[in-house]
Amino acid sequence: MNAKYSSLLESLTLHNGIVLKNRIVMAPMTHCSSNPDGTVSDAELDYYARRSAGAGMVITACTYVTPNGKGFPGQFSADDDSFIPSLRRLAAAIQSKGAKAVLQIFHGGRLCPPDAVPNGDVVSASAVASEREGAIVPRALESEEIHAMIKRFGDTTRRAIEAGFDGVEIHGANGYLIQQFFSPHANRREDEWGGSVEKRLAFPLALVDEIQDVVAKHAKQPFIVGYRFSPEEAETPGITMAETFVLLDALAAKSIDYLHISLNEFWSAPRRGVDDSRSRVEIIQERIGDKVPVIGVGGIHTAEEAAKAMETGIALLALGRELIIEPDWVEKVASGRESEIATFLTKEDQQRLVIPDPLWQMIIQRAGWFPVQ
């Protein structure tokens, strides 16, 4: 191994005592490849197993916690105990190759397609449509439904424990339900669940409390609870970096095991809410990195780029598209073959890279998403 990449392969011990064998995380990536009944498919298992030998931790694509939380076609479910055997297969496929397996838990909120949820009942914090093309106006959740939703996240965490996962990641990013409650764009409530930035924190913090209580009650060994967040929103009104600091400080006080930034570009600068020209990752690491391990992500392909990213002080680095293109990324760095890391696909690569058909079709058809030659 080239010594200048040694930081990528150092182990990390989380606050709860779980040891990650290196600093590389497989990022959660939507693949739309599960069975129609919501169970994990064989193709999906093969896809994860192919990428789990190198990374220290693998975070799955998001699974929905209630029937009205489904956000995509081909998404796997964890909304009922009948799915525990399916989840167990997924955890085992990842762990059999040496990585820690983390289940990302989610509800799509106002971004759920109406035809994907029972009776087309799309819900959110408030009856405010997103600004995405084709968005519909959701129904605002009643207070008792919010309490029930919090419990459903706890129920899914119990299923993750029973299925043998090493942890869960709370998906509070990318405009989905948890972020909608924190967002001044999506949350216009005037009760205990909305209003000031502190009141908009009520739902995500209640989720953390519920999930940590479930872990304390059901886990027989240390169990990871991470949180993914988007640091800003483009909308006005929308989440600013200043508001994100309030969220991160509150999460750190809950002794969360890690905080995972959701970004397309690692070095992107903030839009508003802070007078600082550094990247969002650097600003967030300075703010919170001495209290909670931070996972950075976004547009990292080569070992050189990864090592530079680690110089910001972040604890972990997530690779998404790059581990699809190059499943042996970590192994090549470890064996001094970093020059052999592939950074693009060809149209003949699907079988060799063990990519399920639905994901492969998205890769080929969505121009610019992946570098395809």
CATH of the domain at 351: 3.20.20.70
Q: Is the per-residue pLDDT at 356 higher than 90? A: yes
Q: Is the per-residue pLDDT at 149 higher than 90? A: yes
The whole domain housing 192 covers: 3-365
Q: Directed axis angle between helix 280-288 and helix 241-253, to 10°?
A: 30
Q: Which two tokens stand for residue 60?
A: 């799955």
Residue 67 lies in a domain: yes
What percentage of the chain has pLDDT greater than the value 90?
99
3-state secondary structure of 303: helix
Task: Tell me which of 48, 176, 227, 258 is the catalytic residue.
Answer: 176
Residue 372 lies in a domain: no
Residue 370 lies in a domain: no
Q: How far, in Å, CA of 101 to CA of 103, rounded?
A: 7
Hey, CA dihedral for 59, 61, 64, 69, is it positive or negative?
positive
Q: Is the per-residue pLDDT at 111 higher than 90? A: yes
**1 confidence band (pLDDT: 50, 70, 90):** confident
The answer to whether 123 and 186 are in contact (CB under 8 A) is: no
In one-letter notation, the amino acid at residue 164 is G
Q: Give the chain's radius of gyration (CA, Å).
A: 19
**40 confidence band (pLDDT: 50, 70, 90):** very high
Residue 183 lies in a domain: yes
Q: How far, in Å, CA of 67 to CA of 69, rounded?
A: 5
Q: Is the per-residue pLDDT at 365 higher than 90? A: yes
The pLDDT assigned to 135 comes to: 97
Q: How far, in Å, CA of 246 to CA of 111, rounded?
A: 25
State in Å, rounded, how far the first CA of the chain is from the last one.
Answer: 29
Residue 87 lies in a domain: yes
Averaged pLDDT, 65-76: 97
Name the pTM for this structure: 0.98
Q: Which two tokens stand for residue 2?
A: 């080239």
To which H or E segment does residue 364 belong? helix 357-365
Q: Is the per-residue pLDDT at 230 higher than 90? A: yes
Residue 102 lies in a domain: yes
48 assigned to active site: no
Calculate the average pLDDT of the chain: 97
Residue 373 lies in a domain: no
User: Number of folded domains in the chain?
Assistant: 1
Averaged pLDDT, 165-176: 98
Q: Pairing relation of β-strands 19-20 and 12-13?
A: antiparallel
Residue 118 lies in a domain: yes
Classify burial at 205, counting beta carbons within 10 Å of its beta carbon; exposed 0-12, middle 13-18, buried 19 or more.
middle
3-state secondary structure of 368: coil
